[in-house]
């Protein structure tokens, strides 16, 4: 009989598209007891825009060194954004830089890839812009840089690249493989036909469970960061699936999770894949247990950053009364603030009825816009039951009230964390963080259903 490992504190590498952080969590409570953060920048030099891997590695090692003595940690887990893979040469160096998934490829390359990629019925992965389909990244790198690609000996999903740097053990994992890559068949749980079409099957690292302890921290790193002994490093997980994991452990289906950050990722737990529309950014993700989960998304965090910057500082918080005033005046924003994803592809953003609106009204309308987009995304995946919202939007009362009113459902806000670090820590076998009971938000904003109808009609024009 084996016993579950017991840890006191878990260090988590949490590398998002916009920011990277290393945190230490208390294994008993799940509380974050130490953290350091930095911006995650894209380098514009070289063959294409790419992530600053060296800077990220220095940050990770510096953070682990700083935490080695105080508060200390006895296990490491990892979570990163999706839509990224790492191409390694035989000596373990990068055969090509780690490509920024927002990079757009030449039209001829895109058209060639379109002819190669499997059908949606095989992968449940829609055709997305730039390199959001990892298969498109690999095709681009292979066709545009054949000499460099010929050096590739190992292809790793992004969380597992950092695990390799820490342990020396190469692995791939299904939450990242199943994250709209075109490389995975979520209904059969094996690689899609694209892996052979691209001729990369022999390059793909072995698949391991997100819950696997890949190995101990390499001795050279143990020494560098000042630990007394090696600690286990867990395989790691795609960030949105890290956010989903505590809910899978704690709640019974059906329910939905809205994970907010740069992206707003929506999961319909307990839903089916029968009615997903790939043209509207609906897809299947794969959870930590290897199960397909109906999902949808739009770049809501990035959109809100753009809108807030345009609107400028607002002295007061958006209230439900302000929302009601905007609804009554018919001030609304139509998608898309950021092109290339979301439930309304091809639409170009425009304001309606805002000629005399003040900044506070613009911000209120922006919050309603985000709620309308989220509700549309949830409708596409047949979401049922309560809606759990986590990440930055969980602190936005106006957004939460709008979403509850639109969906006619309880909305449970989970502020204080993006959820990704806590979810990644669960891979080590600890229990989910004990959270205070959050009273569900249940709002009914006057006139919002008519506002929604007018918004949809304007979209159809």
Rounded Cα distance between 16 and 38, Å, is 10
pLDDT reading at 451 higher than 80: yes
Average pLDDT over every residue of 116-145: 96
Q: What are the φ/ψ torsions at residue 295 (nearest 5 degrees)?
A: -145, 160
A 10 A CB-CB count for 457 gives 9
Domains in the chain, CATH or no CATH each: 9-235 (3.30.420.40), 240-460 (3.30.420.40)
Rounded Cα distance between 236 and 164, Å, is 11
Q: Which of 163, 119, 112 is nearest to 140 (CA)?
A: 112
Residue 71, preceding bond cis, omega within 30 degrees? yes
pTM as predicted: 0.87
Max distance between CA atoms of the chain, in angstroms, equals 71
Q: Which of 287, 261, 231 is nearest to 77 (CA)?
A: 231
Tell me: the pLDDT tens digits for 4-32? 558 999 999 999 999 999 999 999 888 89
Record the tokens describing residue 293, joined without a space. Answer: 């989960």
* Reported confidence tier of residue 210, pLDDT bands at 50, 70, 90: very high
Rounded Cα distance between 328 and 330, Å, is 6
Q: Which residues pair with 215 in a beta bridge?
A: 233
* Reported confidence tier of residue 79, pLDDT bands at 50, 70, 90: very high
389: Cβ–Cβ under 8 A, 6 or more apart, which residues? 258, 260, 400, 403, 411, 412, 413, 414
Q: How far is CA 422 from the centre of its chain?
A: 14
Q: What are the φ/ψ torsions at residue 344 (nearest 5 degrees)?
A: -130, 70
Tell me: the pLDDT tens digits for 397-421? 999 999 999 999 999 998 755 578 9
* Reported confidence tier of residue 1, pLDDT bands at 50, 70, 90: very low
């Amino acid at each position: 009989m084996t016993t579950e490992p017991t840890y006191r504190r878990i260090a988590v590498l949490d590398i998002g598209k916009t920011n990277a952080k290393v945190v230490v969590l208390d294994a008993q409570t799940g509380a974050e007891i130490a953290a350091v953060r930095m911006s995650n920048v894209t380098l514009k030099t070289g063959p294409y825009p790419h992530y600053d891997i060296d800077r990220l590695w220095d940050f990770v090692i510096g953070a682990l060194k700083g935490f080695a003595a105080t508060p200390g940690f006895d296990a490491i887990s990892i979570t990163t954004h999706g839509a990224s893979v790492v191409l390694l040469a035989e000596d373990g160096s990068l055969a090509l830089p780690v490509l920024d998934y927002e990079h757009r490829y030449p039209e001829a390359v895109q058209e060639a890839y379109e002819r190669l990629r499997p059908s949606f019925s095989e992968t449940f992965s829609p055709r997305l812009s730039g390199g959001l389909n990892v298969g498109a990244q690999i095709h681009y790198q292979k066709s545009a840089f054949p000499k460099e690609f010929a050096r590739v000996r190992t292809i790793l999903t992004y969380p597992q690249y950092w695990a390799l740097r820490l342990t020396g053990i190469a692995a791939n994992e299904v939450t990242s493989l199943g994250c709209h890559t075109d490389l995975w068949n979520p209904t059969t749980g094996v690689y899609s036909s694209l892996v052979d079409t691209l001729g990369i099957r022999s390059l793909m690292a072995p698949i391991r469970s997100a819950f696997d302890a890949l190995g101990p921290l390499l001795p050279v790193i143990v020494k560098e960061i000042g630990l007394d002994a090696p600690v286990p490093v867990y395989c790691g997980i795609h960030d949105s699936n890290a956010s989903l994991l505590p809910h899978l452990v704690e709640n019974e289906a059906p329910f939905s999770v809205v994970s907010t950050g740069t992206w707003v990722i929506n999961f319909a737990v307990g839903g089916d894949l029968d009615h997903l529309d790939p043209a509207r950014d609906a897809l299947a993700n794969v959870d930590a247990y290897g199960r397909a989960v109906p999902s949808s998304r739009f770049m809501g965090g990035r959109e809100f950053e753009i809108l807030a910057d345009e609107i400028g500082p607002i002295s007061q918080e958006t209230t439900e009364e302000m929302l009601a005033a905007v609804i009554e005046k018919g001030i609304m924003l139509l998608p898309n603030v950021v092109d290339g994803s979301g439930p309304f592809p091809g639409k170009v953003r425009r304001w309606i009825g805002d000629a005399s609106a003040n900044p506070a009204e613009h911000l209120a309308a922006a919050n309603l816009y985000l709620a309308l987009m989220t509700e549309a995304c949830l409708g596409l995946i047949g979401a049922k039951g309560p809606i759990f919202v986590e990440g930055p939007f969980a602190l936005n009362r106006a957004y939460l009230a709008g979403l509850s009113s639109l969906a006619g459902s309880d909305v449970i806000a989970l502020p204080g964390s993006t959820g990704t670090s806590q979810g990644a820590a669960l891979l080590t076998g600890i229990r989910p963080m004990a959270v205070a009971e959050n009273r569900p938000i249940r709002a009914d904003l006057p006139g919002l259903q008519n506002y929604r109808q007018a918004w949809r009609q304007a979209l159809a024009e």
